[in-house]
């Protein structure tokens, strides 16, 4: 019996040691906190989205974020898993009213040596709210004159964070003007690779091979290779507009409509058409009019394909936008890919 126990224990240790380490990072959004936190287990770093700004240009954490940081988050983290705080350039003017992705805010923060120093001090103070592993700056719609200032600010902030044993990530929009900049060494850079189709245009996948190749071409001259942010789920194009759907919602909709999604060769995304009144439809009953909807979404196979294409093109690492609404099979394919 003792010999059998030793053999079983040895086999277990071999399996544990052979298991691949978590390979990807992932965001948890504050508006879907509970669902997001339920999916954090297999990822290398969890990025808590987000800290916002007051009308006085001061970054702050919402009450819900504070509760999550001190409450459920510590209970779902595994040993060695990192936690980043993401800061976005959204100004909360009042409950339910905000200015999203404000370029003017970034201009004010980067305006002078004094404003940059004050902003850095505010960010470092904010990190004391929780034992974060690092900080992420997700400043979008940055003006051409402010982009070089933001890159230098990120370099200086990275030096300060490294002295504290922390890291810095900088999120970049998938635009040529950002990807052909001279990125200073130090911070980790992440390119958003999921805006090919969405609320701004007609049906299609969030990304495809051609889109990823275009990003790689723009970034070909960079000495610092960025990572890729990939998005799960997708969108439904309905008679009443474009509706965001998670993978689980898309799966339920297809099942309720008794249709089999088709995998697109150009993107490996899945798509199908279904009535807005079908069981499992993501369209609220009050808005359903009996029309047909076109749904495109990414599953684990899609995400793993995009990640593989990204690696083949020289991109460094993968991050998933976002946790909450993904199937366990899809999470496993990306987190351990």
Are 324 and 29 a contacting pair, CB within 8 Å?
yes
Task: State the Cα–Cα distance between residues 241 and 252, nearest whole angstrom.
Answer: 20
Local confidence pLDDT in tens for the 337 residues of the chain: 444 333 334 333 333 333 334 679 999 999 999 999 999 999 999 999 999 999 999 999 999 999 999 999 999 999 999 999 999 999 999 999 999 999 999 999 999 999 999 999 999 999 999 999 999 999 999 999 999 999 999 999 999 999 999 999 999 999 999 998 889 999 999 999 999 999 999 999 999 999 999 999 999 999 999 999 999 999 999 999 999 999 999 999 999 999 999 999 999 999 999 999 999 999 999 999 999 999 999 999 999 999 999 999 999 999 999 999 999 999 999 876 6
Burial (CB count <10 Å: 0-12, 13-18, 19+), residue 101: middle
| CA-to-CA dists, residue 202 to 197, 243, 283, angstroms | 7, 12, 18
109-164 pLDDT, tens per residue? 999 999 999 999 999 999 999 999 999 999 999 999 999 999 999 999 999 999 99
What distance lies between CA 306 and its chain's CA centroid? 14
Task: State the Cα–Cα distance between residues 119 and 109, nearest whole angstrom.
Answer: 6
């Amino acid at each position: 019996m003792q010999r059998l126990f030793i053999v079983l224990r040895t086999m277990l240790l071999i399996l544990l040691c052979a298991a691949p380490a978590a390979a990807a990072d992932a965001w948890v959004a504050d508006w879907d906190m509970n669902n997001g936190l339920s999916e954090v287990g297999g990822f290398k770093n969890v990025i808590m989205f987000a800290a916002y700004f007051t009308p006085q240009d001061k970054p702050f954490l919402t009450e819900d974020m504070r509760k999550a940081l001190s409450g459920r988050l510590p209970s779902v983290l595994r040993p060695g898993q990192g936690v980043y705080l993401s800061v976005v350039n959204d100004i909360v003017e009042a409950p339910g009213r905000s200015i999203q992705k404000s370029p003017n805010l970034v201009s004010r923060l980067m305006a002078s040596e004094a404003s940059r120093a004050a902003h850095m001090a505010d960010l470092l103070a904010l990190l004391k709210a929780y034992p974060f592993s690092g900080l992420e700056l997700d400043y979008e719609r940055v003006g051409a004159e402010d982009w070089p200032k933001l890159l230098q600010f990120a370099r200086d902030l990275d030096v300060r964070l490294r002295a504290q044993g922390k890291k810095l990530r900088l999120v970049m929009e998938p635009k040529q003007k950002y990807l052909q900049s001279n990125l200073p060494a130090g911070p980790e850079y992440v390119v958003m690779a999921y805006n090919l189709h969405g609320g701004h245009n007609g049906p299609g996948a969030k990304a495809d091979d051609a889109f990823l190749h275009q990003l790689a071409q723009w970034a070909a001259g960079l000495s610092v290779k960025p990572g890729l942010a990939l998005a799960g789920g997708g969108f439904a194009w309905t008679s009443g507009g474009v509706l965001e759907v998670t993978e689980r919602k898309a799966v339920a909709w297809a099942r309720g409509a008794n249709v089999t999604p088709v995998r697109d060769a150009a993107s490996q995304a899945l798509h199908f058409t279904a009535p807005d009144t079908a069981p499992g439809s993501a369209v609220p009953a009050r808005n359903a009019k009996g029309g047909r909807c076109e749904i495109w979404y990414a599953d684990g196979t899609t995400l793993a394909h995009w990640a593989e294409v990204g690696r083949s093109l020289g991109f460094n690492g993968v991050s998933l936008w976002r946790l909450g609404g993904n199937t366990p099979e899809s999470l496993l394919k990306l987190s351990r890919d």
